[in-house]
């Protein structure tokens, strides 16, 4: 049917998603149909509103201008296939040769992402907390009390006591105010959302996974109320600002807020056409949703975008920051306080963002003499935090900041880190599906399987974010017609061949380590005793099966039943008691939810047992 219509057409209009993958999908279909020599036009739009689509069709672009975008996407697809099919087989076969079970998926962008998580987990695991001591003073002035802090920390209490004694701090009669500085500070509204910024914020606010946020934003885009979601910029152009300004009163009414003095001039912090390439930042369209007609998740994401957009029309948050330096025998203690002058854009977030209260400082003057009382506080150094999906997305995007090598740092800054706005969520999802990472209470942990792979690839280029960035840089050169597909794929083939020659030695060097992990994981994978033959039932990856299958036992249990994931406890209960406790969340063929126990019948098949009414 598609080929028939394409054969009949004189001109073909590509109207897939306005990005490199959308271009690739359309071009592959056109090529397969044998119509690549026909006149091709491109519809390039940022929202699915009728007015935007009409405008796009009235201004169709020359399809040839996007051919290099297609070649970039095609090259990435081939490169990912070459790396994935060769390295997955390579690492899997050597893992299995050394006693491991299952598949070890290794692609172009999975390993550096996994290795980032592994390194953070290792930092936390090996972190040794140390005590430290800080010196404070409470000063008493005729206008009130205030607290000051000495800037340095002390490793031991003895060092702190020695410092006090050397400077005769406890012998001083009074302290003296040496400096008072009041500085007005302005904090402008946050930048508009790119996709990764929206994903990070939604993960922090609602605990949504990156993949879930993208899925919700995509649905809102399809409902014509949000602009294109896979945007990599925080900026909009003048046309977008103009339509936002024209519809400001409607947005405010929908949000249930007001802005007393809207800032209607274009601010380069948000409006800069030179920083908008294919797509502008994620903003509301001119079409407003009925909030009562969308799901709770859709409402949450829409309002995040709406409030972030409204904030650019508010005044900056303005406050006076007061700094007082007070000296005890020439040892300076610093005090800071904040006095709010203009709430500005923070008014929009009155229920959601609470500022940490800064102490109110009394009015003092330089050379004032004040009484004081010293105080010592003990603290402990803290390990870094586990990554959440939100913080991991930020690290993936800005990974170059932490690198020492200047070339790698520059490349990663240019390419915006590991993956793209459109692919980072799927990278994280792939790591979950491959059982390399697990998430508990929003924290990301590396599994034993993921940890083992990281130990093996630790010295390989495949774990290096810089290598992935170099590839992304060259892919961009293909789009700008400064590079060729042939040259890039040639370098990929050489890289794969290099690893094929190098990896066997890595496994030889870590053979004992793999064997230990394999033995431990084998024990962890045992679910119980097979009710048919009394061998062990083990986790086979996609299902649970009897270890005696080579002797003819075909007993298996699924990991999902009626669209409900079965827990290890459910499986263990089935094997030991032949029934589970009541399980909620099964789905019938008609799509309705129901609860039931699972049992093993006389034929060792799963059956439902419904609660008695």
- Given this model, what pLDDT does residue 504 score? 86
Instruction: Please provide residue 323's backbone torsions phi and psi, each rounded to the nearest 5 degrees.
Output: -120, 125
Spatial contact of 183 and 324, defined as CB atoms under 8 Å apart: no
CATH of the domain at 434: 1.10.460.10
Spatial contact of 435 and 449, defined as CB atoms under 8 Å apart: yes
Q: Residue 228: left (phi > 0), alpha (psi -120 to 50), or beta?
A: beta
Domain presence at residue 67: no
| Pairing between β-strand 317-328 and β-strand 331-342 as defined by DSSP bridges | antiparallel
Among the listed residues 603, 567, 601, the one whose alpha carbon sits nearest the alpha carbon of residue 583: 567
Q: Are residues 273 and 340 in the same domain?
A: no
Q: Are residues 7 and 99 in the same domain?
A: no
Domain presence at residue 520: no
Q: Are residues 95 and 171 in the same domain?
A: no
Instruction: Please provide residue 137's backbone torsions phi and psi, each rounded to the nearest 5 degrees.
Output: -140, 135
Total domain count, the chain? 5
Query: How would you write 456-500 as a 3-class SS string?
Result: HHCCCHHHCHHHHHHHHHHHHHHHCCCCCHHHHHHHHHHHHHHHH
How many CA atoms are closer than 13 Å to the CA of 581, on its beta-carbon side? 3
- Given this model, what pLDDT does residue 519 score? 64
Q: Are residues 200 and 247 in the same domain?
A: yes
**Three-state SS for 275?**
helix
Q: How far apart are the first and last CA of the chain?
A: 53
- Tokens 């076969």 correspond to what residue? 93
Domain presence at residue 65: no
- Which secondary-structure segment (H or E) carries 508? helix 485-509
Domain that holds residue 329: 131-185+321-380
- Tokens 């800069």 correspond to what residue? 272
Task: Select from 28, 59, 90 the last residue of a domain.
Answer: 59
- Given this model, what pLDDT does residue 503 score? 86
Task: Select from 291, 311, 331 the last residue of a domain.
Answer: 311
Cα gap 93→73, rounded to integer Å: 30
* Number of CB atoms found within 10 A of residue 58's CB: 7
Q: Are residues 330 and 181 in the same domain?
A: yes
Among the listed residues 569, 566, 540, 568, the one whose alpha carbon sits nearest the alpha carbon of residue 555: 540
Residues of the chain with pLDDT under 70: 351-357, 400-416, 512, 515, 517-524, 613
Cα gap 557→535, rounded to integer Å: 14
- Given this model, what pLDDT does residue 548 score? 86
* Number of CB atoms found within 10 A of residue 287's CB: 16
Cα gap 340→354, rounded to integer Å: 13
Q: Are residues 359 and 468 in the same domain?
A: no
pTM beyond cutoff 0.75: yes
Q: Are residues 40 and 105 in the same domain?
A: no
Domain presence at residue 516: no
How many CA atoms are closer than 13 Å to the CA of 549, on its beta-carbon side? 10
Distances (CA, A) of 506 to 264, 309, 466, 514: 61, 51, 21, 11
**Three-state SS for 372?**
strand
Domain presence at residue 279: yes
For 147-247, where are the alpha helices, taking DSSP H only?
157-166, 195-206, 210-222, 238-246
Domain presence at residue 190: no
Longest dimension (CA), the chain: 98
Q: Are residues 179 and 327 in the same domain?
A: yes
Q: Are residues 296 and 398 in the same domain?
A: no
| Pairing between β-strand 39-42 and β-strand 11-14 as defined by DSSP bridges | parallel
Query: How does 473-499 read in b/e, with b if 16+ C-beta sit within 10 Å?
Result: ebbebbbeeebebeebeeebeebbeeb
- Given this model, what pLDDT does residue 349 score? 86
Spatial contact of 56 and 228, defined as CB atoms under 8 Å apart: no
Spatial contact of 237 and 280, defined as CB atoms under 8 Å apart: yes
- Tokens 């590509």 correspond to what residue? 14
- Given this model, what pLDDT does residue 56 score? 93
Q: Are residues 113 and 139 in the same domain?
A: no
- Given this model, what pLDDT does residue 529 score? 92
CATH of the domain at 33: 3.40.50.140
DSSP letters for 57-121: HHTPEEGGGGHHHHHHHHHHHHHHHHHHHHHHHHHHHHHHHTT--S-----SSHHHHHHHHHHHH
CATH of the domain at 346: 2.70.20.10
Among the listed residues 125, 313, 295, the one whose alpha carbon sits nearest the alpha carbon of residue 215: 295
The angle at the Cα of 438, spanning 432 to 444, to the nearest 5 degrees, equals 110
Burial of 286 (0-12, 13-18, 19+ CB in 10 A): middle
Q: Are residues 144 and 159 in the same domain?
A: yes
Query: How would you write 377-409 as a 3-class SS string?
Result: EEEECCCCCCCCHHHHHHHHHCHHHHCCCHHHH
Spatial contact of 318 and 341, defined as CB atoms under 8 Å apart: yes
Domain presence at residue 403: yes
Task: Select from 351, 380, 409 the last residue of a domain.
Answer: 380
Domain presence at residue 455: yes
Q: Are residues 292 and 199 in the same domain?
A: yes
């Amino acid at each position: 049917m598609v080929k028939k219509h394409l054969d009949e057409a004189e001109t073909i209009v590509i109207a897939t998603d306005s990005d490199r993958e959308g271009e690739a999908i359309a071009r592959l279909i056109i090529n397969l149909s044998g119509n690549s020599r026909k006149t091709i036009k491109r519809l390039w739009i940022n929202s699915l509103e009728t007015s935007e689509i009409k405008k796009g069709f009235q201004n169709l672009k020359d399809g040839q201008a996007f051919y290099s975008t297609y070649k970039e996407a095609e090259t990435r697809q081939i490169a990912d296939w070459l790396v994935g099919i060769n390295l997955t087989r390579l690492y899997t076969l050597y893992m299995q040769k050394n006693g491991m079970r299952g598949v070890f998926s290794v692609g172009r962008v999975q390993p550096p992402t996994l290795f980032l998580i592994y390194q953070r987990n290792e930092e936390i695991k090996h972190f040794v907390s140390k005590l430290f001591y800080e010196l404070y003073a409470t000063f008493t002035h005729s206008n009130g009390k205030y607290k000051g802090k000495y800037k340095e920390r002390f490793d031991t209490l003895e060092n702190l006591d020695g410092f006090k004694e050397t400077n005769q701090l406890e012998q001083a009669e009074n302290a003296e105010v040496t400096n008072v500085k009041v500085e007005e500070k302005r904090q402008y509204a946050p930048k508009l959302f790119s996709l990764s910024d929206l994903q990070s914020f939604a993960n922090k606010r609602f605990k949504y996974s990156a993949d879930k946020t993208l899925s919700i934003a995509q649905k809102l885009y399809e409902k014509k109320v949000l602009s294109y979601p896979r945007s990599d910029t925080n900026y909009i152009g003048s046309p977008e600002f103009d339509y936002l300004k024209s519809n400001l009163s409607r947005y405010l009414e929908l949000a249930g807020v007001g802005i007393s003095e809207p800032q209607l001039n274009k601010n380069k912090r948000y409006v800069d056409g030179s920083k908008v390439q294919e797509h502008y930042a994620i903003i509301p369209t001119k079409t407003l949703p009925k909030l009562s007609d969308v799901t709770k998740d859709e409402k949450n994401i829409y309002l995040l975008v709406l409030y972030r957009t409204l904030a650019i029309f508010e005044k900056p948050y303005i406050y006076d920051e007061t700094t007082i330096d007070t000296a005890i025998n020439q040892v300076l203690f610093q005090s800071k306080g904040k006095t709010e002058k203009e709430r500005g854009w923070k008014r929009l977030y009155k229920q959601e963002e609470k500022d940490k209260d800064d102490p109110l400082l009394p009015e003092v003057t330089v050379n004032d003499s004040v009484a004081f009382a010293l105080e010592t506080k003990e603290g402990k150094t803290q390990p870094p935090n586990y990554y959440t999906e939100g913080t991991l997305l930020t690290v993936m995007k800005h990974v170059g900041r932490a690198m020492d090598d200047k070339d790698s740092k520059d490349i990663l800054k240019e390419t915006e880190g590991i993956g793209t706005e459109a692919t980072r969520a799927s990278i994280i999802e792939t790591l979950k599906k491959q059982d390399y990472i697990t998430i508990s209470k929003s924290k990301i942990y590396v599994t034993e399987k993921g940890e083992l792979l990281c130990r093996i690839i630790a010295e390989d280029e495949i774990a290096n974010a810089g290598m992935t960035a170099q590839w992304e840089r060259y892919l961009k050169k293909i789009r700008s017609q400064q590079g060729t597909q042939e040259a890039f794929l040639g370098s990929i083939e050489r890289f794969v061949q290099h690893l094929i020659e190098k990896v066997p030695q890595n496994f030889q060097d870590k053979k004992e380590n793999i064997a230990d992990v394999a033995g431990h994981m084998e024990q962890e994978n045992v679910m119980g005793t097979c009710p048919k033959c009394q061998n062990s039932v083990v986790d086979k990856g996609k299902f649970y099966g009897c270890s005696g299958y080579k002797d003819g036992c075909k007993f298996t249990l699924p990991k999902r039943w009626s669209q409900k994931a079965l827990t290890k406890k459910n499986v263990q209960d089935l094997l030991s008691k032949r029934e589970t406790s009541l399980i909620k969340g099964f789905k019938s063929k008609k799509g309705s939810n129901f609860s039931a126990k699972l049992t093993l019948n006389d034929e060792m098949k799963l059956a439902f047992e419904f609660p008695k009414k």
